[in-house]
Structure 1
Amino acid sequence: MQLPKLSPLQSRLLASVIATCLVIIIWISFQPHHFVYAAELPVAPQDVEYSQLGQLIPPDTDSEAILGSEVHGNPEAEREGGYVGDFKYFDRSLIGRAEEGVDTLTNNEAKEMDTTPGTTKYFVLEKSQIQARRRAYQDSSLELRDTVNTSESATEDEDGPHARDLLQSRQGSDQVYITVNTCQQPIPEHIATDDPPQLTLYVSTSANNQKPGPKSKDGVTSITFQHGYGAYNATTTSDVYIGIDAPALTKGWNGSFSFQITASTDAPYDTYDQWDTFLRMVDTDADSSLFVTQDLLSERNDTANITNWMGVTPVPFSMYAFKSTDWGGKGLEWSKCGLQWSLDHALNSTNSTQKITVDTTMTNRSTSLPKGQFHVMGLEKNTSYVGFLAMDGVNGLVPENMTAIRGSRVWNQFNWTTKAESTCQVIFDLPFCKDVAYAVPSSPQFANNTPALKELYDTQAENYYTNFSNSLAQVACDTKGSAQYSLARTCTDCARDYKAWLCSVLMPRCEDFSAEGPGLKDRNIDQPLANGSLPYAYNMTKEFNETTRERFAFQGSRNPLIDSAIQPGPYKELLPCEDLCFDIVRSCPAQLQFKCPARSMRSGSYGKRESGPQGLTCNFPGALVNLNQFQGAAIALPVRLSVSVAISMVVGIVLWI
């Protein structure tokens, strides 16, 4: 039989339907499998509880009333010792204990334990711990009930309905969160070719299986750790039994495990963020690097929280840094205690070359908002490193847009490389130019005397600013509006913008002479390199001499003090952003006669801010460098990209049809 001939419109409709089906199939196929398992635990058979009269105990029955009806109201039961079944309303101290070899967990208290390969450790979180949170809510909800009752006639925009929903959710939810971190793992005898062995978490809610493990069959959930971290959460009203299994070691691995386990009814005690480093690099030189966290707050008028963060002791952040070739903690990237063990092991190893130290402080530089700061020292030039940021929970202090951190949080792994030459040196926390934080031209005489280098630059800038202030003082700033030089800018704006420009041009941002990228300008090319050769010795053409070698801008530094007092040798400068110059022209009085170079000459003195993957294209106060994140941890990213590509292909097919 001949198939019916479709019209063009019908053909397009058929193609669209087929494409839509393909998108659905691709979406289902690429659904990610997360390492955290979340589900509502099935109620164990013994949790379906009946009174001695065979009546189902209502879920909201008070436990004391049940105890009175079951024991005190039954003389025979009292005479025989008052046996009561494993009711969920009774504390375990009244009805029995877990099996031998099962350790009891306390809500929100971490427990650390050693274990040998091929063995399983067992734990239980008793229902009394789980229900304590509910009882606390019930005790504190009487006032909430009164509030709800008195607001029955309130509109839907008021708190009554929301409070009622909150009360109901608190009464009916017993959420349990279990997190486990590997704190120590076996060590390979030689260079390991396979991944480190990982622990496995087993969970059961049946009293018939109080020791869940690899031999358990039904009713047990298992979660294999990833990078030293395992997590599980569910809703339940029964005891939760946990097994932590250490696998037998394969050939080439020696040692034992230790782990830290925590159960919580509030939130995951320890967490891992696989999508962000929460860290930015300020700059690096040949033997140190400077990093800061993202701003911890967003409101500059939140003075109380700003003060608390700036004064917190000890600083709750930790940064772990390792040379890429020495990184021996593979398999522990998501565990804070595992990272600490990796660092201790690297420092104590007999053949270790680990000399890295990290000075951790708080700063509010550039944005006036608090952030953690890390000065990593003891690095080697032209060397790649791997780093991790972690944070311990601080009561009352929570970074904005984050949930409270009770235990620890670890962020995504990142990599960076130090500079290859010693002509640049990182400076920060200057007394006058407070926003300056990057590598500036330096030389061996200041290699071990950073304070002297900072004072040299900062004193010069302050002296220049004093002269400017004397000139600005001649302008009638505090006068009536009709007499002011501008209704859009004030002398305060002028002083601020001049200071930002001044510090940026007197302290150029320094890069290796071998560096490549937009916005870089050669400096001091008539000075010898570290190996004694002259830059561009291979190019002695007349054209190059006239356009580069003989040009004053390439022969020396922007700031004459650098060549006379510091003598750094050849380097490249990341030019300051041109908008710094535009700002002082806009903000300052015309009688100060500030002007920016014409467009044809501007590219030799200033760079342009441009967004893109190329990194910084010019220097400005507060400039930061995005870190190269460890791509192996972002397990869901390829899935999302695949779905996006598939959808784009389908749309393209439909449009083409």
Structure 2
Amino acid sequence: MQLPKLSPLQSRLLAFAITTCLVVVIWVCFQPNYFAYAAEIPVPPEVVQHSEFEASIPPAPPDDPPVEIRDGLEEEESGDALYAPTFAYFDRSLVGRQEADKPLELNNNRMMDIDIDPKETKLFIFKKNQLSQRSVPEDIPVARGLEDTVNGTLDAEGRSGENNSVKRQAQSRIWISANTCRQPVPTVPLVTESVPQLTLQIWTTTSSSAARPSASKEAVGNATFSSGHANYTFSTDEDVYMEVTAPALTEGWAGSWNFEIAASVDDGYYHNYDNSTNFIYMVDTDSDSTLFITHNMTDFNDTEQVAKWIDAHKGDNLPFDIYAFPDDAWSPMMGVERSYCGLKEQFETSNNLSVLSSITTQFGQGLPKGMFNVQGLKTSMNYTGFLALNGTSNMTIDGTKAQGGGLVFKSFQWQTKADDTCQVIFGLEECSTVAYAVPSSPQWKNNDTGLIAFYDDLAKKYMQNFRRSLAQVACDTAGTAQYSLARTCTDCETDYKAWLCSVLIPRCEDWTANDTWLHPRNINTPFADGTLPSSDNLSMQFNATVRNRFAYNQSRNNEIDKVIKPGPYKELLPCEDLCFDIVRSCPAQLGFACPDPPMRELSYGRRDEKGIDLKCNFPGAVVDLTVDRGAAGMLSYRVSMVVLIAVLAAAWSWV
């Protein structure tokens, strides 16, 4: 059949209809569910990957009111007016706001030194990537927001304490400490208020979601600096924030603070303070200097090891430092008594004192000890001292290790002597155990070298004569021919030398000392003003029993009165048991004997049976500074039994 012939118009209509049908077929074949639509899907914040540019933009300042985004416009919470936004981070003093709120990052066991003004706050952060993963003892507090399982509580997901213990084990212990190095000073003569102290506040990301905690959110810990020192330890697995705040200054104070802060996960505080250990003894004092020694620095006495240890700590490498301040109405050490950097800075900037430091083995057992001679002190002045183990020593004292911030021991007090009749000497060649105040005079005050040479030369002459006499004894003979089966000639020489140094070089106390066991000397010699001691006592009995007796009107050694000319003073007599020891140790043919009472009481003292007071002298006798001062400011004396062993336990008096 022949198809009808279409006109041009009909042909166009047919082509359009066919095309329309094809389009419909194609639309039906490709359903909409095969296409992807761009839509905003909610995503948890923790899985969002931020761009580097976005990460560089700080969060909106907490002081700005929150805003709500609506169709590209921002509406203030406090109103209905809409406005086209501008980029807030670059039109609101971005630089100043960021510096004020951005926390300073602390690194593990690294101190940060910073200044702070009154009413100012400094913010710090210790990031959790520096925390070590180790178990936490049960007695260590856990950061808020981390559930504790000790009492079987459930965690946030309802799991039992048994499973939650894995979470606790993953936490790390952190030690946070701070020291005040510089502080405001009083502007009034009479200080009635204590030094203003900084405060430390600590929290974690679990205890506060904001970078700075609000008043309604509790922190992990709070601490007010005590005498310039603050510390806190706890366990966490989150970022740790620290905030140090300076108080407002009241009338009478001016200045600012400087402090150090550090966080550590290395088993201890960077800054340490020991309130229970004194670790220092006072050997003796005079009118302008004082001699101290520390406890033993090591527990070995091998000669070679000790020599190596001493060589490694010569000069500025001595692990200890000592600081001294006069007890005035206001002292620069007040407010920083527990701060190593504070004591160090105040001592170096506000004192005219000098300290000669060394290591000595002369105080028993051959063990090394630190020795300090503090010079430039004032006459009859009360002082407060501090011993510190510096941060480079890497030493551990009574279980406390000195980290980089040092270790400060509790303070101690003492008083200098009232006149120049006594002078501290040490470092003698022959009598190496002599280290105390000896009879002196103003003309020898600035001549320590000459005074040491005078006493040491006397001892050398006596020892030379003694050795010649001892050489006449058959010391190296057979046991059946020896003078003693219990003592040798070596024992005799050692004991004689200790006795000789104690009696030939008297231990001196000034005339104002009033302990009943002290023995007056040179009472017929006038004072500097021309008056005589006990000039108001003219009784015949006093003249017969005291003034006219050699035991009172002259020194034990006549050379002292001829050369030194000390004037009136009092002597701490040598211990009587030293005389007994020399009689037991030496051959009878040398003729040693001790005087009988009552003559013995004029030449020798007797040790305190309770071991509390130092009532007689012997090599190695020191003052225990753990004893509190009395109302008159005088120190009670104690014998240090720690340093009195071996040869130091032997010392004698003049026969």
If the length of structure 1 is used for normalisation, what is the TM-score?
A: 0.72
Find the counterpart in structure 2 of residue 424 from structure 1.
422
Judge conservation of contact 1:179–1:269 (CA < 8 Å) in 2. Answer: yes
1:575 is aligned to 2:573: yes
Task: Give me the whole-angstrom Cα distance separating, in 1, the residues matched to 2:467 and 2:515.
Answer: 36
SS at match of 1:445: helix
Closer, same or farther: CA 425–172 of 1 in aligned 2, 3 Å: same
Task: Give me the whole-angstrom Cα distance separating, in 1, the residues matched to 2:108 and 2:57.
Answer: 17
Judge conservation of contact 1:286–1:418 (CA < 8 Å) in 2. Answer: yes
Find the counterpart in structure 1 of residue 16 from structure 2.
none
Find the counterpart in structure 2 of residue 316 from structure 1.
319
Q: Percent sequence identity over matched residues?
A: 46
1:464 is aligned to 2:462: yes
Find the counterpart in structure 2 of residue 197 from structure 1.
196
Which residue identity does 2:552 align to in structure 1? Answer: F
When the two structures are aligned, how many residues end up with a matched partner? 507
Find the counterpart in structure 1 of residue 406 from structure 2.
408
Task: Give me the whole-angstrom Cα distance separating, in 2, the residues matched to 1:613 and 1:238.
Answer: 54
SS at match of 1:331: coil
Which residue identity does 2:250 align to in structure 1? Answer: T
Find the counterpart in structure 2 of residue 252 from structure 1.
252
Which residue identity does 1:446 align to in structure 2? Answer: W
**Deviations 1:112-161 (Å, cap 9, x if unpaired)?**
10111111111111112112789xxxxxxxxxxxxxxxxxxxxxxxxxxx
Residue 357 of structure 1: CA displacement? 1.5
SS at match of 2:598: helix
SS at match of 1:294: strand
Residue 482 of structure 1: CA displacement? 2.5
Find the counterpart in structure 1 of residue 77 from structure 2.
none
Task: Give me the whole-angstrom Cα distance separating, in 1, the residues matched to 2:305 and 2:374.
Answer: 30
Task: Give me the whole-angstrom Cα distance separating, in 1, the residues matched to 2:508 and 2:470.
Answer: 31
Judge conservation of contact 1:364–1:371 (CA < 8 Å) in 2. Answer: yes
SS at match of 1:282: strand
Task: Give me the whole-angstrom Cα distance separating, in 2, the residues matched to 1:505 and 1:373.
Answer: 24
Find the counterpart in structure 2 of residue 120 from structure 1.
121
**Deviations 1:341-365 (Å, cap 9, x if unpaired)?**
322442xxxxxxx422112222122
Which residue identity does 1:501 align to in structure 2? Answer: W
SS at match of 1:260: strand
Task: Give me the whole-angstrom Cα distance separating, in 2, the residues matched to 1:342 and 1:396.
Answer: 24
Find the counterpart in structure 2 of residue 295 from structure 1.
296
Task: Give me the whole-angstrom Cα distance separating, in 2, the residues matched to 1:431 and 1:213.
Answer: 66
1:533 is aligned to 2:520: no
Which residue identity does 2:263 align to in structure 1? Answer: A
**Deviations 1:530-564 (Å, cap 9, x if unpaired)?**
22101111111111111011111111100111011
Which residue identity does 2:339 align to in structure 1? Answer: S
Q: Which has the larger radius of gyration?
A: 2
Find the counterpart in structure 1 of residue 217 from structure 2.
217
Residue 82 of structure 1: CA displacement? 13
Task: Give me the whole-angstrom Cα distance separating, in 2, the residues matched to 1:300 and 1:401.
Answer: 21
State which drifts further: 322-331 or 565-574.
322-331
Judge conservation of contact 1:298–1:400 (CA < 8 Å) in 2. Answer: no
Task: Give me the whole-angstrom Cα distance separating, in 2, the residues matched to 1:472 and 1:583.
Answer: 16
Task: Give me the whole-angstrom Cα distance separating, in 1, the residues matched to 2:381 and 2:467.
Answer: 44
Q: In the alignment, which of 351, 355, 373 is matched to residue 358 of structure 1?
A: 355
Residue 262 of structure 1: CA displacement? 1.1
1:342 is aligned to 2:321: no
Residue 516 of structure 1: CA displacement? 1.1
Task: Give me the whole-angstrom Cα distance separating, in 1, the residues matched to 2:579 and 2:134.
Answer: 59
Task: Give me the whole-angstrom Cα distance separating, in 1, the residues matched to 2:48 and 2:256.
Answer: 37
Residue 222 of structure 1: CA displacement? 0.8
1:512 is aligned to 2:515: no
Find the counterpart in structure 2 of residue 331 from structure 1.
335
Residue 298 of structure 1: CA displacement? 3.5
Residue 195 of structure 1: CA displacement? 0.9
Closer, same or farther: CA 335–124 of 1 in aligned 2, 3 Å: same
**Deviations 1:242-290 (Å, cap 9, x if unpaired)?**
1111111122211111110111112111111112322111111111111
Task: Give me the whole-angstrom Cα distance separating, in 2, the residues matched to 1:495 and 1:82.
Answer: 88
Which residue identity does 1:332 align to in structure 2? Answer: V
Task: Give me the whole-angstrom Cα distance separating, in 2, the residues matched to 1:369 and 1:195.
Answer: 42
Which residue identity does 1:322 align to in structure 2? Answer: F
Judge conservation of contact 1:173–1:235 (CA < 8 Å) in 2. Answer: yes
Closer, same or farther: CA 204–401 of 1 in aligned 2, 3 Å: closer
Q: Which structure would you say has the larger RCO, counting Cα contacts within 8 Å and 6 or more residues apart?
A: 1
SS at match of 1:602: helix
Task: Give me the whole-angstrom Cα distance separating, in 1, the residues matched to 2:628 and 2:181.
Answer: 21
Residue 214 of structure 1: CA displacement? 7.8
Closer, same or farther: CA 393–356 of 1 in aligned 2, 3 Å: same
Task: Give me the whole-angstrom Cα distance separating, in 1, the residues matched to 2:130 and 2:469.
Answer: 71
Judge conservation of contact 2:340–2:405 (CA < 8 Å) in 1. Answer: no
Task: Give me the whole-angstrom Cα distance separating, in 1, the residues matched to 2:216 and 2:607.
Answer: 61
Higher helix content, 1 or 2 = 1
1:107 is aligned to 2:105: no
Task: Give me the whole-angstrom Cα distance separating, in 1, the residues matched to 2:529 and 2:269.
Answer: 55
Alignment of 1:258-297 (within 5 A): 258-266=258-266, 267-297=268-298
**Deviations 1:25-72 (Å, cap 9, x if unpaired)?**
xxxxxxxxxxxxxxxxxxxxxxxxxxxxxxxxxxxxxxxxxxxxxxxx
Closer, same or farther: CA 173–629 of 1 in aligned 2, 3 Å: farther
Which residue identity does 1:531 align to in structure 2? Answer: D
SS at match of 1:622: coil
Residue 210 of structure 1: CA displacement? 5.6
Residue 301 of structure 1: CA displacement? 3.2
Q: In the alignment, which of 171, 174, 181 is matched to residue 172 of structure 2?
A: 174
SS at match of 1:339: helix
Find the counterpart in structure 2 of residue 375 from structure 1.
373
Residue 223 of structure 1: CA displacement? 0.8
Task: Give me the whole-angstrom Cα distance separating, in 2, the residues matched to 1:97 and 1:518.
Answer: 79
Task: Give me the whole-angstrom Cα distance separating, in 2, the residues matched to 1:219 and 1:559.
Answer: 71
**Deviations 1:295-354 (Å, cap 9, x if unpaired)?**
2234423852563146414212111111111513311100011112322442xxxxxxx4
